[in-house]
Structure 1
């Protein structure tokens, strides 16, 4: 029986020791699990915050694109407004000249009036950056000239513009319309 008691005592002692060790480990395990959960929650919150930030940025980008597209459309729609404001007085002067020509048959003053309107019109176009291309006497340049025919000429060297059939124009630094010319051969 002593052996049974010893075994039971030993077993009871082992059980007490195991129970004590579990009791000590349980707070550590709980603390570790609690720390893991807390860190996991922080990471989830950070991920959600980053996702929200991403969605806001995407929405801002879409709004920016929409505003930019609308501004571009509006700019294209009203781009000619400034030019037209300058041309309206020219139109008014043409209307006045035509009305005056019906009442008065003085063609000299009509011609002078139309010439003044033409100069006013030219000035508006020049202010906007339109410039005629100088052609006659210049070497043929396919960037500025469109040759419509070649002619024999004693006055000009070969490859030189002899006659301008239709004026060409540049707008600032870009060719708006090449000059139609005759070139010496």
Structure 2
């Protein structure tokens, strides 16, 4: 038994030595906790960076969406405002022809009634266009504006300042604030 007790004491001493060796080989709980805390903090920093990146991405997408919606609304408003532009462009040559027809003098009663009918049609078309926001550009006597007028001739006219419209060859028209057709004019030098 003594031998057995001695053997058990040797085994206990060996186990204690192994535990001490393991304890010395492995870091202490404080060291483990510090390393785990450091690793957890690094992971938290990475996750916070990803969250910040995703948050910024979300905000950019939201701003892009808002800008797209605003652009679409502005495009619709512009289309609504200028919806009559193609119709007006198609009517302008016919209005020019009616104006030429109205420059002819009526000599007899039959021609006078035809003249009156053409004049009524002309006024009706102009009134309909006015309701849509179309207006003629005033040219003669005004200063030449390249945004409103197209100069096809220049002539020196006595008693007139330079750069003044002296004659209009073809009327210009605006739809609301947009020039549809500039007036063709003669300008003084």
* TM-score under structure 1 length normalisation: 0.50
Please name the residue that 1:181 is paired with.
Answer: 185
Looking at structure 2, the residues matched to 177 and 40 of structure 1 have their Cα atoms a distance apart, in angstroms, of 68
Render the CA deviation track for 1:38-68: whole Å, top value 9, x for unaligned. Answer: 2223223323323443454455456556656
In structure 2, the CA distance between the partners of 1:65 and 1:152, relative to structure 1 (3 Å rule), is: closer
Looking at structure 1, the residues matched to 47 and 188 of structure 2 have their Cα atoms a distance apart, in angstroms, of 81
Local SS of the residue matching 1:138: coil
Looking at structure 1, the residues matched to 154 and 30 of structure 2 have their Cα atoms a distance apart, in angstroms, of 102
Please name the residue that 1:41 is paired with.
Answer: 43
Please name the residue that 1:165 is paired with.
Answer: 169
Render the CA deviation track for 1:126-171: whole Å, top value 9, x for unaligned. Answer: xx2x4333222334444543332345655x4253433211122345
Gaps of 5+ in 1: 1-15, 88-104
- Aligned residue pairs total 143
Please name the residue that 2:127 is paired with.
Answer: 120
Local SS of the residue matching 1:28: helix
Looking at structure 1, the residues matched to 28 and 67 of structure 2 have their Cα atoms a distance apart, in angstroms, of 58
In structure 2, the CA distance between the partners of 1:48 and 1:169, relative to structure 1 (3 Å rule), is: same
Local SS of the residue matching 1:137: coil
Q: Which of residues 13, 26, 29 is equivalent to 1:27?
A: 29
Looking at structure 2, the residues matched to 41 and 74 of structure 1 have their Cα atoms a distance apart, in angstroms, of 49
Please name the residue that 1:7 is paired with.
Answer: none
Cα RMSD (Å) of the superposition?
4.2
Looking at structure 1, the residues matched to 114 and 48 of structure 2 have their Cα atoms a distance apart, in angstroms, of 86
In structure 2, the CA distance between the partners of 1:79 and 1:51, relative to structure 1 (3 Å rule), is: same
Looking at structure 1, the residues matched to 178 and 81 of structure 2 have their Cα atoms a distance apart, in angstroms, of 18
Whether the aligned pair in 1 keeps the contact of 2:152 and 2:186 (CA below 8 Å) is yes
